[in-house]
Structure 1
Amino acid sequence: MGTACSVRRERCAVFTVGYLRVVGLVDLLGAVWVSFGNDIRRHDVDEYFTPYLLTAGYTPAFLALFLAVTMRRGKRAAWLLNLVLAGLYLLFLAAATAVPEVRGHPQNWVSLGITAAFCAALLAGRRAFRAKGDPANPRLAAAVAVGGVAVGGLLAAGLVTVTDTGHGSTFGERYAYAMLRVVSLADAGKSFPGISSPGWVDVVINALSAVLFLLVLYAAFRSPRGRELLGPRDEMRLRALLDRHGERDSLGYFALRRDKSVVWSPSGKSAIAYRVVGGVSLASGDPIGDPEAWPGAIGAWLAEAREHAWVPAVVGAGEEGGTVYARHGLDALELGDEAVVEVADFTLEGRAMRTVRQAHHRIGRAGYTVRVRRHEDIPEREMAALVERADRWRYGRTERGFSMALGRLGDPADGRCVMVECADEGGEPRALLSFVPWGRHGLSLDLMRRDRDSDNGLVEFMVIELIRRAEEFGLERVSLNFAVFRSVFERGAKLGAGPVLRMWRALLTFFSRWWQIESLYRANAKYRPVWEPRFLLFEKGGELPRIGLASARAEGFLAAPRMPSPRR
């Protein structure tokens, strides 16, 4: 019985979303196709009426499509707004059909029936719309509406003033003319006969009005941003889990980024660190802690995402973690491979290592030296100087990284991290590498910076020197950079590669001019590492563009302007 009710509720929710999509598309068609739009609008005068939101025009189209998107995400506020608007319109239609002139037209009964069906579906599927919005949304929407109307009205009034060819109108009248179009899109010419402005001015004002309308809608229905970031208590608990289970995932330590939030399994033995970016709940790597408790953490994370209408996604999950995520309904897409060097198997001998061997010898003969220390062994003044150099050597102003970067350097809590410093013949620092712990016997690359005027091959020299001193630090494996779509470059270059694979490789090679996709793969491949696949996990394929944008923003490749939030 419960299952049947759940299926019926889901079908009703799908019907409401589908209705809004169809109405929005028809309204768009009516706005573009003038004769068709006039036919629709003709039914909304005198004794003819169309169903809910079917009025032909850009504004009702945008409203219907926006509500369809928010309803699909299960937002309670969108459900309530639809219920109020559709309910009021249903009462209006019911009262109108009581009039004999209106009752005699069959199309009005059709409109009444369709609107009633939509309202009934809203009520029947109400439990499918549980996602909460940000508590600050009503205040923010009101602020955007008031501020937008004031600013938009002034801009529109200024445009009317500049283009007005009439005579005798005051600025107050021109402002009232502009405000009438901004707020209602109504034809204000009859109310203000002294104003004569070109038709394109009205179009521009209408466009301003549509933009303002969309901004108000966005402010009213935006998802919460997940402001409760990692606190001292959660960080302490995560460190305890990493002490016991940190060997499982090379990305585990990056869960300690303080711009992430954390959700715990009911037992407290596992956790998922995530960050909300553009309405996407973005986790990275495998869950932290006991694998037996991973399902509990994943379930809690997914439940929180649904509660707030966030899109759940995981970047850089390993094969073990990706399998558990997939059991909870997420699909997997292979992103690339992580390069892991096994210390015991590493050697500079052989033809395959010739390039690395030559680079190491060349840099060594040039007088470069390497020093390897735990962060906790570096004096405070030296660490401050290293941080300053790392900032100076950074390419661009943005600190990039999310899934495979700690986002800080020199924090006292990260004393077990390892710093590899390289100086030239004169003792001048030229490069540094910083690694985070990977359990007790591994390191994972966090930061790689070098002076651009230094010799090529410096990084190879530093990595090899670290591996040579692995015994001093009890190292068994070192995780280096992540190679995006590595298999495409490797298989696409082989004899017999198919046309699709070759085309895909050519496309990635083209984009490598800006994003260093191929160069990162080749920089890792020269160490002859073990390649560990990493995956992107997602719920619906249609959400991949949104997830991609959120990932790019989190990693620092894109920066989006934020709408200011009112003070709490």
Structure 2
Amino acid sequence: MTSFLAGVRSPLWVSRIVLLVGAVSLLSAYLPAIAVRTRLVHEVVPPSFPAAATTGGAAIGVLLILLSRGLRRGKARAWTVALLLTCLAGAIHVLRGLQVEQAALCGLFVVQLVAARKSFTARPDPLSLRRMLSVVTVGPVLAVGLGWLWLSLSRDGQAVGTSSGDRLAQAVLGLVGVSGPVTFTDPHAQVVAAVGLAVLGVAVVLLAVVVGLAPPDGPHPMTASEHTALRALLDEWGWVDSLGYFATRDDRAVVFSHTGRSAVSYRVIGGVSFSAGDPIGHPDDWPQAVAAWLEETRSYGWAPANLGCSERGAEIYHRAGLDVLEVGDEAVLHTSDFSLEGRAMRSVRQAVARAQRAGLAASVERVSTLPVELREELRTHAIEWRDGAIERGFAMALGRFGQERDDAGVVVLARDTAGEVRGFLSFVPWGDDGISLDLMRRSPDAVNGVVELMVTTLLADVEQLGITKVSLNFAAFRSVFDRGERIGAGPVLKAWRAILIWASRFAQIEALYRSNVKYRPEWVPRYLVYGDVADLPRVASAVLRAEALVVAPQWYRRLSRKPSRAGAVEEIPALQAGTEPVVRDDAQSST
């Protein structure tokens, strides 16, 4: 019995019940009331009260449905608002038509909310311009829809011939207290409609005010001191993980262990605290950094997730109580082992020969040696030759190119006989003797083989820069493609491979595998870490959004992007220009 009571008081069950209460309130607003009860109410309260209760109940139902997500995450503010709305919903059910059954349901839920108070301690999410924009744009549309539906179902007192378009216009104007085109034959019906629509309008305004007054809490982009401390950890321990340098992305926050010897960098996306790669710093101190990250994650009710950690990092996350799923492999080439000889490298040799016959030649250079004009040219090419309107990648992409702080990187250039750049590869440091691929670009009209030419030239010449290992692209579900095409593969593996091939038409999953496997690299497994199976849908959504595989419309990104303050960057729609670190000195949140 004790375990059952603890279960129903959990945020998960409370969120499910508030979802039910919200749905009941929304449906009750549009279902006909019992006539006898309605007459009794009209004898006690003014006629405008039931109208206000009808549209107010619909608005509260929608708000409770929306609040269920915050309750599931254990948000203290969501609990407070849900308690107030549920009490109000109970009163509304009585005012509308003595709906005692629905009011009793609200009363029971109030008791449950009070009993479960200790389960809701998570702090509010940071102030979000996107959330505010969503309320301002979606709220009025939803309110108009509810008002139109109410006018369509309750036609008493409306003139004969009133069209659906008239009711829609009436709903739009009624939100701001203006009379619309609907003609009422009954003055009482006109007052009822005006009051009901005004209540919907007030509900939207109140919701916008509540969202707009959210505190500027939560994580912030790295401050100058945090950036310096993270760089110091990378200088000493950056060789441990090939993805370590990507922790310096400008859209990430960072949390350090209490000793300061390690850190986890992350970004909050859709209620998911999304980190990538292994923790930065001394491996012995990684458990402390993960513990600090999880403590902050739980304090805000976020779902923890990590994409791209190594097996060593996955063990640390697993010991901290998180689940682990292998999602692919990273291709790593060693300069001492790489060779174009042998039958297995025939396709690469042919591609290189094709590019050379076309007059292409490749060279390897440090970013620090590139003239400013060439950096700007490559940045322009990176945007022009990009597939899509926004820069993809998060776990294995830096989101900027050619900045002074990244001078330790390496660039491979492919030029034609006229000296024009036809393709380039950009790599970030991986310790002192390694580099990790960041950007791969080629001109749309460049001959096939330009990428192979750049990769093989890199492997042949990069040792002069002290580089002994090169990390290429990440191949998602590599083992499925590898084992699924072998003789004797089982039906489940073949079916899974067929699904991935179909999905590759949208995300180039197979293409990334094929582009890497021909170099015969060492395959290093990479993992996805998550907190709970129930969180997998929103974790998957966060992965797609972070990697820019799912992108909001351009107008929405433009409106929701905050102006830059002291160099702050909200998102990375294009490769950033400039030479100075893009960090902030203040603690104002913008995540």
Instruction: Give the TM-score band, short-chain normalised.
Output: 0.7 to 0.9
Which is worse superposed, 442-451 or 536-545?
Answer: 536-545
1:467-486 equivalences in 2 (<5 Å)? 467-486=459-478
Contact 2:433–2:469 (Cα < 8 Å) also in 1:
yes
Find the aligned partners of 1:221 and 1:541 in 2 and give their Cα distance. 33
Cα 1:137–1:351 change in 2 (3 A) is: closer
Q: Which residue of 2 aligns with 1:131?
A: 122
Contact 1:342 1:477 in 2 (8 A): yes
Contact 2:76 2:121 in 1 (8 A): yes
Rounded Cα–Cα distance in structure 2 between residues aligned with 1:471 and 1:141? 52
* 1:241/1:57 CA distance change after superposition, 3 Å: same
Q: Distance in 1 between matches of 2:353 and 2:133?
A: 67
Identity %: 41
1:69 aligns with 2:69: yes
Does the alignment pair 1:122 with 2:113? yes
The 5-angstrom pairing of residues 333-352 of structure 1 reads: 333-352=325-344
Shift of 1:358: 2.0
Letter aligned with residue 76 of structure 1? A
Aligned partner of residue 244 in structure 1, secondary structure: helix
**2:220 partner SS:** coil
Equivalent of residue 425 in structure 1, options 403, 417, 422: 417
Q: Which amino acid aligns with 2:431?
A: G
SS at match of 1:247: coil
Q: Take 2:213 and 2:6, find their aligned partners in 1: how far apart are those partners? A: 23
Q: 1:133 is matched by which residue type in structure 2?
A: P
What stretches of structure 2 of length at least 5 have no aligned partner? 42-52, 162-166, 564-587
Aligned twin of 1:510:
502
1:365-421 CA distance string (max 9 Å, x none): 443222211111222233223223323322333122211111111100111100111
Deviations 1:303-339 (A, max 9, x none): 2222223222111111111111112222122221111
| Distance in 2 between residues matched to 1:565 and 1:44, nearest whole Å | 49
Deviation, 1:482, is: 0.8
Deviations 1:459-487 (A, max 9, x none): 11111111111320222211001111111
> Aligned residue for 1:99?
none
The letter for the 2-side match of 1:230 is M
Does the 8 Å CA contact 2:90/2:103 hold for their aligned counterparts?
A: no
CA distance in 1, matches of 2:74, 2:545: 25
CA contact (8 A) 1:318 1:534 kept: yes
CA RMSD, 1 decimal: 4.8
Query: What is the TM-score when the length of structure 2 is the normalising length?
Result: 0.75
Secondary structure (helix, strand or coil) at the match of 2:298 reads helix
- 2:81 matched residue in structure 1: 81
How big is each residue's C-alpha offset from its partner over 1:491-541, in whole Å with a ceiling of 9 and x where there is no partner? 111122222221221121122223211111011000001111111111122
- The correspondence for 1:271, drawn from 263, 277, 286, is 263
Sort the Cα spacing of 1:30 and 1:117 in 2 relative to 1 into closer, same or farther, 3 A: closer
Instruction: Confirm or deny: 8 A CA contact 1:256 1:406 kept in the other structure.
Output: yes
Change (3 A) 1:125 1:498: same
The CA distance in 2 between the partners of 1:389 and 1:147, in whole Å, is 37
In 1: Cα distance, 2:137 partner to 2:503 partner: 44
Aligned to 2:18: 20
Which residue of the other structure, out of 221, 228, 233, is the alignment partner of 2:225?
A: 233
Distance (Å, rounded) in 1 between the aligned partners of 2:346 and 2:146: 67
Contact 1:281 / 1:305 at 8 angstroms: preserved in 2? yes
Contact 1:30 1:56 in 2 (8 A): no
Instruction: For structure 1, list consecutive stretches of 5 or more residues without a partner in the other structure.
Output: 48-52, 97-101, 168-172
Equivalent position to 2:374, from 382, 395, 410 = 382
From the superposition, tell whether residues 268 and 10 of structure 1 become closer, same or farther in structure 2 (CA, over 3 Å).
farther
Kept in 1, the 8 Å contact 2:354–2:448? The answer is: no
* Residues paired across the two proteins, number: 527
Please report the TM-score for the alignment, with normalisation by the length of structure 1: 0.78
The alpha-carbon deviation at position 43 of structure 1 amounts to 7.9
8 Å contact kept, 1:223–1:279: no
Aligned to 1:313: 305
Moved more, 363-372 or 428-437: 363-372
Preserved contact between residue 29 and residue 56 of structure 1 (Cα < 8 Å): no
Q: Which amino acid aligns with 2:468?
A: E
**Which residue in the other structure is 1:50 paired with?**
none
1:376 & 1:124 partners in 2: Cα distance?
A: 62
Partner secondary structure for residue 426 of structure 1: coil
Paired with 1:389 and 1:191, the residues of 2 have a C-alpha distance of: 68
Name the residue aligned to 1:360.
352
| Counterpart check, 1:192 vs 2:187 | yes
Aligned-residue offset at 1:194? 8.6
Report the CA distance between 1:211 and its aligned residue: 11
Contact 1:325/1:537 (<8 A) preserved: yes
Query: 1:211, 1:559 → 2: CA distance?
Result: 30
Match of 2:243 in 1: 251
8 Å CA contact 1:137–1:221 kept in 2: the answer is no
- 1:548 CA displacement: 2.2
Give the alignment partner of residue 487 of structure 1, picking from 456, 473, 479: 479
**For the residues of structure 1 that align with 2:201 and 2:503, how far apart are their CA atoms?**
39
SS in 2 for 1:416: coil
Contact 2:91 2:103 in 1 (8 A): no
1:537 aligns with 2:529: yes
